[in-house]
Every structure is written in C-alpha cells, then in structure tokens.
Copies of this chain bind each other. A is one copy, B any other.
Amino acid sequence: MPEPFVALVPLRWSDMDAYGHVNNVQYLRLLEDARVVGLDSWAGDGPSMLEGGIVVSWHSIEYRAPLTYRPAPVRVDMWVTRTHGAGFDLGYRVLDPEDVGDTVYAVAETGLVLYDFAAARPRRLPADARGTLEAHAGDPVPFRWRDR
C-alpha cells in the first residue's frame, strides 16, 4: 500500500462549541481543507481531475476521541478507498501530528462524484485521473459502527 497523503490542518478557537470541544460538524471542515490541499497535490502538473467540477455525494464519520483547541494542527491522513466510472471515495484518519501524540480523533469516508456544471450532469472519470487515484489507494476505513 502507498503511504496516505498527510495534511496538517490548523484548528481555530471557534471550532469549539459550548461543550468546550471541537464540534462534531467542524471535523468535516477539517476534512474539507485536507481535500482541497490533497487533491491539488495529487493532480500535480498533469491534467487535473479538479478542472471539471467535483461534488460530495456522501460522508460517513466516526468520532473516536474528544479534541480541544490547541495551537498545534491536527494531522489528516487521506487515501483513496474506491475508484469507479463516475468518481471516487476517500478515506481519512484525523490524528495528532507525530511530535504531538498518537491519539486518533476520528475516521471518515467521503464519496465524490465528478460533475460537469456547465452541462449539469455527472461526467466520466478521465483515464489519467484514474491512474492518479489508484496510485493513492489504501485500506477500507475501519468504521466500528458498521458492525453494530
């Protein structure tokens, strides 16, 4: 398996809610910024899968530990869990950077669909993008709640 993409995503004090922890919805904001950085990095200099549009078709996220604001960023590991004709799925792990600790705060997965906004319809994953994505393939996300 290739190594996952690693994004360091800074927290904001306002990510905390009235319970004094990073709010569960804000974790998805952290994933959004990991995607913005990661997909841009994967696209590199080649024709980008981002050049056309991409839309989020689903998210699943499972929380593992409470997170409190601190100056240190969180680390988001990101990899590809599936590639198909109209899009791909991403897996993530939200954890401490190596020099901070080893707590895993959440695992998550996102389904993305390529979309042609001009034509208002899904579009096919280009062959070169499929190659790029397959180079970042990784394990299934170890969700626990699916075993309920």
Q: Show the binding face of A for B, using Cβ within 8 Å.
A: 10, 12-14, 16-20, 23-25, 28-29, 32-33, 36-37, 53, 55-63, 69, 71, 82, 84, 111, 143, 145, 148
Contacts and interface: CB of A to CB of B under 8 A. Distances in A.
Contacts of A18: 13, 16-18, 20, 69
Contacts of A24: 28, 56, 59
Contacts of A36: 13, 69
Given A60-B60, A63-B58, A16 B17 contact: yes
Identical copies in the complex: 4
Given A60-B59, A61-B59, A111 B145 contact: yes
Nearest to A73: B10
A56 B119 CA distance: 33
Contact of A28 (B16, B28, B53): B28
Contacts of A63: 55-58
A138 to B, nearest CB: 17
A53 B21 CA distance: 13
Contacts of A25: 14, 25, 28-29, 32
